[in-house]
Amino acid sequence: MGKPKRNPATDPAIAAQRQALAMALSTGDVAGAARLMPKLLKHQGDDPALHHTAAEIAWRQGDRTNALKHFGGALGAAIAGQAQGPAEQTAEIAQSAAQHLGHLLGSYAIDCKGLLTRPVLVHLLNRTDVDPQAVASAAAPIWMDTPPWRRAFQLSANDAADWLLGPDGAAARADTLAAALLTRAVLSNPKIEALLLTLREKLVAQDKVDEDYLRLIAQQWYLRDYAGVVSDTELSEAGHLKRALYSDPASWLTEPDGVDPWCDRIAEQAIEEAKLAAVLPNLEQDAAETATVRDQYEQHPYPRWIGLTVPAPGSRRALAWRADPDAGNPARKLFWQQSPFEALIAGCGTGRHALMAALGYGPLAKVLAVDISAASLAYASRKAGEYQANNLTFARADLLRLGDLPDELLPKDGFDLIESVGVLHHLADTGEGLRSLAQHLKPGGLIQLGLYRKDGRKHVALARADIKQLGLDATKDEDIRIFRAHILNQPDHPAFSALAHNRDFYSLPGCRDLLFHARERDIEMTEIGPLLTSAGLNFAGMQMPDGVLQAFAQAQGAQALTDLNAWQGFEADRPDLFDAMYRFWAVKPK
């Protein structure tokens, strides 16, 4: 006969351990608190508050893996409905745990097998305040490697599709994790794409289909903007859902017709975006050299994102304060912590970056986001409404002609902060674009920039050489599809490993932006200094993960964080710590 289960509420030993934990935390003894956790969790594993505390301890110790595990434990216990505390407290713990998980999954590459359960992953994917794309990166390998879907990915695509659509695949078709992944994120894996292509053909050929399952597959193709090679199947007379496997319902459904609710919703979104585009502040006159890039994003707004991990209001202010060369000035610190300020997001695309900024800087920040593409801005405006970003305004404008915007949109003395990440390298003259932005930056103001790094994009150069040799046209969707198949069918292609799991590669707008862009140029770090000098700006430091900044400080000294020459030496020694884009800050002298 085994030992009777101990009651946490009445067991004096557990009570003593809880008291010791509280004492350790109150005195800052993080290591002591960590030593107490295993025994407490053994007896109170269904306590979300205890898991949350364990996660916070792990985070303070720099242990991201255990932080992820215990935030997952906190969320799992909270959503299981077995928590003993007040419902309001449990809901707050679940909210906090979900936000932390969204941040961890979006910021770090952590193998989540054995750390996060299927119910937790499903819950995260379906939340509107957590980025489902970040969750999918962790959830997809678990989905592929565990029942009921493991068998599908052990078979050929053809056999897997037959199995899924047959009686033996019923459990897989009903799998809630699969449903959440298919409807909430672009799934970037060659095996998944091969299966989706085969499923699409077989579903169209079936006389009797499960409409709910058909809708899941149609939603995934919609998210991918129908990037897979299209067969010659005639679909003009097919039902709505079968047509939606091959083309956007909004392209053939001008208004909801009541036949299918999912297709109606897509049509309604397109109608809403058209209305939003019509009322945007719009500078009609663009510089001639920007027309090519504008046309690309009118045809393919990028990216078609679903959700984001909503930052706490004001949490992003610390980013600007740390970048400010005058950060040691108490008045400057106070300004970034709590004063109203005006920010410009230059080249906001479909709005994800702008929303993160507006929500993260908080309601006292007034944020203007501009882009050259009305179609992208319409998508951004619709998403801003979903997230109630009331401090965010959109306008269609050429970055070279910002001065033509209405006076009410431009602060008299310039913006306190400008962010332009992944934009200026698409202009005919990057320096001219930067000088235009600098003209609208207040003296003492900060600008965050992101420019393509030449050494981090060798796979793009290889792919673009292939595209040129094949004579493919970036404006033709079918040519983009052909090239994607060309890469996916050649696992030994030198660019395959870099592209085969790249999220952008799995949607038409993403692939065009990544490999078929109308105009872009990569730079080397030696070019950053002259670019900034030409615009009257001073380098204020790299925007890099904390671990990289610490490694730099150890190698070059903390005083060199704003020394571009020191960064060049560091990059030469540790190129592995840099990715495909330089992200950095600059300041306009007072």
pLDDT for 11: 73
Measure CA of the first residue to CA of the last residue in the chain; give whole Å. Answer: 78
- Do the domains at 12-114 and 288-455+522-587 have one common CATH topology? no
Tell me which residue of 284, 249, 288 sits closest to 269, measured CA to CA.
Answer: 249
Any idea where the domains of the chain sit in the sequence?
12-114, 145-247, 288-455+522-587, 460-515
Q: How far apart are CA 82 and CA 320, in angstroms?
A: 41
Q: What percent of the chain has pLDDT over 70?
A: 97
What letter represents residue 321's amino acid? W
Has residue 180 got a pLDDT over 80? yes
Q: Are the C-beta atoms of 154 and 121 separated by less than 8 Å?
A: no
pLDDT tens digit sequence for 527-558: 999 999 999 999 999 999 989 999 999 999 99
Q: What percent of the chain has pLDDT over 90?
A: 84
Distances (CA, A) of 581 to 157, 254, 395: 36, 40, 26
User: Which residues face 418 on adjacent strands?
Assistant: 344, 447
CB count within 10 Å of CB 316 equals 19
pLDDT tens digit sequence for 91-131: 999 999 999 999 999 999 898 999 999 999 999 999 999 99
pLDDT for 312: 94
Distances (CA, A) of 121 to 94, 136, 215, 313, 377: 13, 8, 21, 25, 31
* Pairing mode, strands 415-421 and 341-346: parallel
At 10, the pLDDT band (50, 70, 90 cuts) reads low
Tell whether domain 12-114 is in CATH 3.40.50.2300: no
Has residue 525 got a pLDDT over 60? yes
Q: Are the C-beta atoms of 77 and 48 separated by less than 8 Å?
A: yes
Token readout for 453 is 């790094």
pLDDT for 263: 97
pLDDT for 1: 46
Name the architecture of domain 288-455+522-587. 3-Layer(aba) Sandwich (3.40)
pLDDT tens digit sequence for 418-460: 999 999 999 999 999 999 999 999 999 999 999 999 999 999 9
Tell me which residue of 384, 403, 404, 401 sits closest to 393, measured CA to CA.
Answer: 384
pLDDT for 14: 76
Token readout for 202 is 């077989």
Q: How far apart are CA 224 and CA 245, in angstroms?
A: 11
Question: Taking the mean position of all CA atoms in its chain, how far away is CA 323?
Answer: 23
